[in-house]
Amino acid sequence: MEIPGLDTEMIDVVAYTQQALASATELARIMDDTNAAAEYERKAAELKSKINAEWWSEKDKSFGDFRGSREEAMPILEAALIRADTLHKPWAVKELLTTKSYLKNHVSGKHEPYVIYHNWVVNTPMETGVADFNKGKAALVTATKYENPFGVYVTGIDRTEEPDSTVLKSRKKTFSYLGAVMTLPTGVQAVASARYGSSDQSLGYIKKLHQSFSYALPGSMYEVSPDFGMITQAWNIYGVAVPIINYFFGIQPRAYEQTISISPRLPTSWDNVSIENVRVGNNALSLAIRKTSEYKEYTIHQTLPEWNLLVDSKGASKVIVNGSEVDLKSLKQNVLKLNGTENRILIYENVNQIK
């Protein structure tokens, strides 16, 4: 991350490396390279275990900005103190002085995770799904401390307590990430929240992104929220499209297998929604979802009838597909396997199970 001196082991590097190894595992399997797949899988599993064991700070309920020795951490802490003091962040100075006192009296002789800047990269283990579920949920709660109505701060210790400063001070003549709220960390939180089952929280971050939409750039948004920086960034759509398509509507494609899994997790306020013409390879999928007090109704259309649709029916007491009731005992892992261009599914659940 673009912070002077923060050049030791960084959490985003290890999280994205683990994700790359997991992806390489799948790619090797597709290519029938079983030896490579086994090696990548071993490394991915080992790194995932190390991230959860060696990068988690229980006292901070967060993954560390970085990992290193106490000697490496002290100059980074001093730089953070100067930054917080220069930006007039008394709450951050107080927190950092407490951390400094802890470091002076804590001698382990080991490399440990340190949460000093509260930089957005601490959330990459949740973005990638590397974090253990309980740690991920706890870290997502911690992350809510470092945001404002437009999104998430790039560096948490820059958080301001002045209510009007976002709009009044964001128009800078010289570009800087100091004090910046950006679409990148906000989008990462939208993805991470959705991945860990918090659709409502994810939708909240998408709404924060929407606060910047057309605020200063008609029809789009700047990378620094709400009105500064570059105007074309792939992560702007990433933070909206991935949560909505992959998690709210639950569309998980495997185009190379001509298979689309569907496991929706709608926000509680979404009762009657649809998405159309989602391109998956040379196929196109449309999905409409309607919730009632008795059941959830999925209407699925795809242009290539030979493709497989794997629909999650976990928790269902009764399932009706195209007018016929399904024998739930015949299903493997509560998954309906369907084909055809059009399918209408009714999934009956207890009222308190509908989400």
* pLDDT (0 to 100) of residue 335: 96
* pLDDT (0 to 100) of residue 106: 79
Query: Is 56 within 8 Å of 113 (Cβ atoms)?
Result: yes
| Residue ranges per structural domain of the chain | 9-244, 250-353
* pLDDT (0 to 100) of residue 179: 84
Give the per-residue SS3 of the chain: CCCCCCCCEEHHHHHHHHHHHHHHHHHHHHCCCHHHHHHHHHHHHHHHHHHHHHCEECCCCEECCEEECHHHHHHHHHHHHHHHHHCCCHHHHHHHHHHHHHHHHCCCCCCEEECCCCEHHHHHHHHHCCCCHHHHHHHHHHHCCCEECCEEECEHHHCCCCCCHHHHHCCCCCCCCCCCEEHHHHHHHHHHHHHCCCHHHHHHHHHHHHHHCCCCCCCCCCCECCCECCCCCHHHHHHHHHHHHHHHCCEEEEHHHCEEEECCCCCCCCCEEEEEEEEECCEEEEEEEEECCCEEEEEEEECCCCCEEEEECCCCCEEEECCEECCHHHCECCEEEECCCEEEEEEECCHHHCC
Q: pTM for this structure?
A: 0.91
pLDDT-derived band of residue 162, with 50, 70 and 90 as boundaries? low
- Fold (CATH) for 250-353: Immunoglobulin-like (2.60.40)
Mean pLDDT of all residues belonging to the chain: 91
pLDDT tens, position by position, 23-77:
999 999 999 999 999 999 999 999 999 999 999 999 999 999 999 999 999 999 9
pLDDT over threshold 80, residue 352: no
Task: Work out the average pLDDT over 241-268.
Answer: 97
pLDDT-derived band of residue 355, with 50, 70 and 90 as boundaries? very low
**Phi-psi group of 69: left, alpha or beta (phi > 0 → left; psi -120 to 50 → alpha; rest → beta):** beta
pLDDT-derived band of residue 170, with 50, 70 and 90 as boundaries? very low
First to last CA, the chain: 37
* pLDDT (0 to 100) of residue 9: 85
pLDDT tens, position by position, 127-143:
999 999 999 999 999 99
**CA 109, 110, 111, 112 torsion: positive or negative?**
negative
pLDDT over threshold 90, residue 283: yes
Cβ–Cβ contacts within 10 Å for residue 68, how many? 17
Of 137, 162, 157, which Cα lies nearest the Cα of 146? 157
pLDDT over threshold 50, residue 168: no
Helix axes 183-195, 133-143, angle to 10 degrees: 140
pLDDT over threshold 90, residue 164: no
Pick the CATH number of 9-244 from 1.50.10.10, 3.30.360.10, 1.20.1260.10, 3.40.50.300: 1.50.10.10
